[in-house]
């Protein structure tokens, strides 16, 4: 399945919130900063940011976070 850059950004932000929920430290970006970091990324860069591969696919990632 093909996802839009908006869908990928939303999923990445949700994953980031999940990961930082219990393990946030002062050096981490907040949600707004992370969204600003993602904003200029291309589709391929966003997919790369998901760290998906042949074992943990983008479809599985999007099912969890999208």
Domain positions in the chain are 5-65
Residue owning tokens 């591969």? 53
For the whole model, what pTM was predicted? 0.89
Segment 7-66, tens digit of pLDDT: 999 999 999 989 887 776 777 888 899 999 999 999 999 999 999 999 999 999 999 999
């Amino acid at each position: 399945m093909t996802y839009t850059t908006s869908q990928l950004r939303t999923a990445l932000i949700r994953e980031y919130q999940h990961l930082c929920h219990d393990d946030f430290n002062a050096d981490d970006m907040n949600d707004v900063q992370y969204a600003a970091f993602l904003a200029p990324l291309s589709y391929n860069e966003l997919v790369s940011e998901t760290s998906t591969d042949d074992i943990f696919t983008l479809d599985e990632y999007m099912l969890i976070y999208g």
